[in-house]
Structure 1
Amino acid sequence: MRTDVCDPVAERDALPSWARAVARFSPSERVLPAILQRQAEHYGEQVLFVSGEERWTYADTVQIAAASAQTLIEAGLKPGDRIALMCSNRPEFLRVYLGCAWLGAIVVPINTALRGLQLSHVLRNSRPALLVVEAPYLAAIETIEPDVQLPPSIWIIGSAVETALSAVPLPPLGACACAGAIRPADTVAILYTSGTTGPSKGVCCPQAQMFWWGIYSARALGIREGDVLFTTLPLFHTNALNAFYQAMLNGCTYVLEPKFSASGYWAAARRHQATVGYLLGAMASMLLAQPKREEESTHGLRVALGGGVPAQVHRSFFERFGVPLLDGYGSTETNFVFAGTIPSDRPGTMGYLADGIEARIVDEDDTELPDGEAGELVLRAKEPFAFASGYYGMAEKTVEAWRNLWFHSGDRVVREPSGHFRFIDRMKDSIRRRGENVSSWEVEQAIQAHPAVAACAVYPLPSELGEDEVAVAILLEPGQSLEPVDVIRHCETMIAYFAVPRYVRIVAQMPLTENGKIKKGVLREAGVTADTWDRDAAGIRVRRQ
């Protein structure tokens, strides 16, 4: 008997689940309808999605996607139309997303904290043909600026409430539609990411980019067939959305909780028999700050994403909870492009460059810099459509970011001789607070709308939890006075709660450059000064409008 004959099936089955998924789907099949139908054939009655009392099998999810698409078709929607979606973590969010992806329409998830000028910009830029909004956020829609034209159709998720808007309940599911003629390059979602020197940009995410998010993330996390992926992160961001693809592509179950609860996290993880978790930035520190509970040592979590978690937190987190945190780096425009080892050999770094990605560290002229020298990180993918295709309605910003055929991240990074990449800071001024990107420009626009404010500068100060806090220095108009708490109350109606400053400093003069620009670096380096008012110390809470 010959023993040197290869068995292709056995070899394929021996591969990690993510590698089998790459082999299973040809480049033209890396779109949601093909993925979902193929996986339903294979996994059938296995549970794919859990949210509250809802449980969808792989077979169920195909039917829900097709029926949701038919609902859109009957409402007059067609491929390429934008559907704005303002909804918390609940099954209806995924139902609308799947219907859009099945039809070839484009979903525009909206951060549920947006109000006023921020929300107005998203609607003005995306020009949706349909708005689907969860009932509690109808009040937010009513804060948009007068010149913003709402779409002709508005659907409400949840119990109806009184509103001045012409809206109807989300239609029930009915018949199923055939999948659209969708290509890997087609945009499946426009995700708005905060700008640093201007309004938020709508990142156009192709169908294939979401496929590669599922592949690269699963590879980095060591996801296995049958894993239970447990997330409390919001679906309107990349992380939680691509975790669904991780589950779908790897034969896993995706568990979606309404929101992060430090006190209830481990009990929920144990209840769902979760094996993989998703934590960002301050979340790990918040869990460590909790009193010890029995469930924190009796869960089944094998690994958790730990992007942005400070280096010093990794060891204490592992020692207390028995869960290694994965270092990594990605952005809405790119993918999971850097990942550490499990456990990390250099906690707090970005990790190593992922296979399938090219990276350089460059100077202001895009000339590559040597190891050990900080510069801007630029990236490009080897696989087609693994990165975003540009910014919606912002051609100049697209050209600027993708100049010389590399995506310019705007991050100052060092490549070390060991192969690790280490994040230093943003090339421009940005703030990361509680897992959210805050545009200093947008906060400044809101504050400068106050009649007592002559000028202001928004900048980050270190948080006790490992990320940033929002600080603002304000120069008043002559003869005007303004209490710091009034700044908070002014901002509450105009920007998201997480963007409202914690620190307010009223200054007699701003530090200026020779050409009259405010030196934010000077304000940042000064830190919390004697004349800086601290909202937390004063016991002032931000009201979520």
Structure 2
Amino acid sequence: MGYHVDPRMPKPEQCIQRYMIERWAAEQPDKIFAIFPDGRQWTYAEMQRIAIRTANALRKLGVRQGERVLVWLPNGPDCLRIWFGLNYLGAVFVPLNLAYKGTLLQHAIGLAETRLAIVHADLHQRLADIDRRMLREIVVLGGQADPVDELVLHPAGTVESDDETPPALDREIVPWDLQSIIFTSGTTGPSKGVLSSYVHLYNMAVSAPFLSGDDRYMVNLPMFHSGGVMPVTAMLIHGGSISMVDAFDTESFWPTVSKTGITTTILLGVMGGFLLKRPPSPDDKTHTLRTCTYVPLNDTAPQFHARFGTDIHTHFNMTEISMPIVSEANPTALGSAGRPRKGVDVRIVDENDCQVPIGAVGEMVVRTDCPWAMNHGYAGNPEATAAAWRNGWFHTGDGFRRDAEGNFYFVDRLKDAIRRRGENISSFEVESEVLAFPAIREAAAVAVKSEIAEDEVMAVVALRDGEAFDPADLIEFLRPRMAHFMIPRYVRVVDALPRTPTAKIEKVKLRVEGLTPDTWDRDAAGIVVKREKIGRA
């Protein structure tokens, strides 16, 4: 095939999961690849055997090359082996956010177009009361499972096998084959499933030039986010290793770094600030963490470098693209995301896709020299695909400006989205659930600034005539219907929502007004909404 001689395209053993595993298992079979929170370790040779056995078990379930399979599992050995087993077959890894429930879960399952799901026991009953579309079979891991009407339920042992014969392929897996579908916020509409090829994820992972085979990457973000799959892929590419943790935790961060020899990680939002708030110690620089990806690059970044001696890097990325903006070590332009990396073109444009002057704000658009190095569309959503891929460029929907030195600065979302604690939230999906509450006539969900970082969700509602309303009742109504991170913190009641002459809700006005004296605060009312702990006591 032509890609074998195209210098822009990585070789199969550099980007395709199966061939990377085969390569490193042959070259360094005894090197540690993965360390898990319970202390288990996989060498490269063990990882290959586990991937092959899992692939053969999945094959017995009827999984074929190119087939999509939902994976609804927390971080850990099971999630990793199912992912690798699927890709070993040339099948497609479709991870789901553990917080999904109700209509959001139903929508994602519909877009995925899968007949089979691998699900944790703590989650499978959420499938009971939704339209599951073509989903017909589930394998339940991590505990006992109760039957779900019209679903064939397979025991955990179904995805175990003793067969270590590499499964045959219908054809060679190629770099542009569909590797995964990762869901991201749909901003003004329902969530979207991002179609990612092997070479897309490769380009995302190699965009950090400071990584090497000597690194051990702390994976502290979930595998249903690009921030979870990217570090694993980066270490597979380089022949390095990972240390997987349940989630970021301030108290255990440095002990985990020292215990498992972690050399690099990602710190998002307030993570770095939380670590800086711990009392100084003589051992602050006695650790193995050489580098850190710090997003956003705020005023705590140089403090982190000075105190802990770790080199700081930053970038801008989305699930759909491949880290087009990156920085050098310890950048001084605070607030910037860096500069365009080699192999990408980045422009800031107006609504007609014309480039704006230096210093002016516009939408960031991106294209790559390497084919397939970004997403190739949205699952089941050709309209959104066409809207994003216009005039030969991918439109990020994010407002940026560029300074005279070539640094790019994120300014604001041009799209109607909310970002809370690292999660992109679709205002459309919040509004849809809020409007299901009987007393509410109309609703708008908008972002308000958090006192910690990023945004909080505010629901502005107008009530039906004569209806009594208690915001606390709305929160309890939303709990079983929405992901925890989407449930509004603030609720404001108005007589009517402001509208434009064309009858569209004027969200800009609501955002400018922000938190008014009559806004109800869930936290102030003592109502706690937390993430459910899946697979942990």
- Judged with a 3 Å threshold, the aligned counterparts in structure 2 of structure 1 residues 544 and 245 are, in CA distance, closer, same or farther, namely closer
Distance in 2 (CA, whole Å) between partners of 1:410 and 1:544 is 28
Q: Alpha-carbon deviation of 1:227? A: 1.4
Distance in 1 (CA, whole Å) between partners of 2:33 and 2:13 is 24
Q: Alpha-carbon deviation of 1:335? A: 0.8
- Where does 1:369-388 land on structure 2 (aligned, <5 Å)? 369-388=356-375
Number of positions where the alignment pairs a residue of Structure 1 with one of Structure 2:
518
Letter in 1 for 2:527: I
Distance in 2 (CA, whole Å) between partners of 1:25 and 1:391 is 24
Deviations 1:19-58 (A, max 9, x none): xxx9995368632222221222222210111113321111
Partner of 1:243: 231
Letter in 2 for 1:65: A
Distance in 1 (CA, whole Å) between partners of 2:429 and 2:459 is 12
1:442 aligns with 2:429: yes
Deviations 1:85-113 (A, max 9, x none): 11111111111111111111111100000
Q: Alpha-carbon deviation of 1:129? A: 2.0
Partner of 1:82: 68
Deviations 1:212-264 (A, max 9, x none): 222113x1xx1132211112111111111110111111121111111111221
Partner of 1:10: none
2:119 aligns to what SS in structure 1? strand
1:275 to 263, 269, 280: 263
1:190 aligns with 2:181: yes
Q: Is the 8 A contact 1:456 1:472 kept in 2?
A: yes
Q: Is the 8 A contact 1:229 1:247 kept in 2?
A: yes
1:389 aligns with 2:376: yes
Partner of 1:177: 166
Distance in 2 (CA, whole Å) between partners of 1:516 and 1:298 is 60
- Where does 1:11-410 land on structure 2 (aligned, <5 Å)? 26=11, 30-51=15-36, 52-142=38-128, 144-145=129-130, 147-149=131-133, 151-164=135-148, 166-170=152-156, 171=158, 172-175=160-163, 176-178=165-167, 180=169, 181-217=172-208, 219=209, 222-292=210-280, 296-309=284-297, 311-410=298-397
1:359 aligns to what SS in structure 2? strand
Q: Alpha-carbon deviation of 1:544? A: 4.9
TM-score under structure 1 normalisation?
Answer: 0.91
Deviations 1:507-538 (A, max 9, x none): 12222211121211111112221011111122
Distance in 2 (CA, whole Å) between partners of 1:164 and 1:420 is 53
Letter in 1 for 2:247: K
- Judged with a 3 Å threshold, the aligned counterparts in structure 2 of structure 1 residues 295 and 153 are, in CA distance, closer, same or farther, namely farther
Letter in 1 for 2:250: A
- Judged with a 3 Å threshold, the aligned counterparts in structure 2 of structure 1 residues 532 and 465 are, in CA distance, closer, same or farther, namely same
Letter in 2 for 1:120: Q
Partner of 2:4: none
1:151 aligns to what SS in structure 2? coil
TM-score under structure 2 normalisation?
Answer: 0.92
Deviations 1:135-166 (A, max 9, x none): 11123223x42x33362221011121434354
Letter in 1 for 2:242: Y
Letter in 2 for 1:483: D
Letter in 2 for 1:98: F
Partner of 1:517: 504
Partner of 1:4: none
Question: Unaligned 5+ residue runs, structure 2?
Answer: 1-6, 533-537
Distance in 2 (CA, whole Å) between partners of 1:362 and 1:487 is 41
Distance in 2 (CA, whole Å) between partners of 1:179 and 1:282 is 46
Question: Unaligned 5+ residue runs, structure 1?
Answer: 1-21
My pick for the range that moved more, 447-456 or 258-267, is 258-267
Distance in 2 (CA, whole Å) between partners of 1:156 and 1:494 is 22
Distance in 2 (CA, whole Å) between partners of 1:338 and 1:204 is 21
Q: Alpha-carbon deviation of 1:405? A: 1.4
Distance in 2 (CA, whole Å) between partners of 1:337 and 1:154 is 38
- Judged with a 3 Å threshold, the aligned counterparts in structure 2 of structure 1 residues 406 and 350 are, in CA distance, closer, same or farther, namely same
Letter in 2 for 1:418: E
Distance in 2 (CA, whole Å) between partners of 1:56 and 1:380 is 37
Letter in 2 for 1:95: R
Q: Is the 8 A contact 2:219 2:232 kept in 1?
A: no
1:167 aligns to what SS in structure 2? strand
1:393 aligns to what SS in structure 2? coil
My pick for the range that moved more, 368-377 or 168-177, is 168-177
Q: Is the 8 A contact 1:85 1:131 kept in 2?
A: yes
1:264 aligns to what SS in structure 2? helix
Letter in 2 for 1:386: A
Q: Is the 8 A contact 2:421 2:453 kept in 1?
A: no
Letter in 2 for 1:201: K
- Where does 1:494-505 land on structure 2 (aligned, <5 Å)? 494-505=481-492
Letter in 1 for 2:138: I
Deviations 1:431-477 (A, max 9, x none): 11111111111000000111111111111111122211111111111
Deviations 1:333-366 (A, max 9, x none): 1111111121012122111101111111111111
Q: Alpha-carbon deviation of 1:494? A: 1.1
Give the RMSD, CA atoms, in angstroms.
Answer: 2.0
Q: Is the 8 A contact 1:267 1:296 kept in 2?
A: no
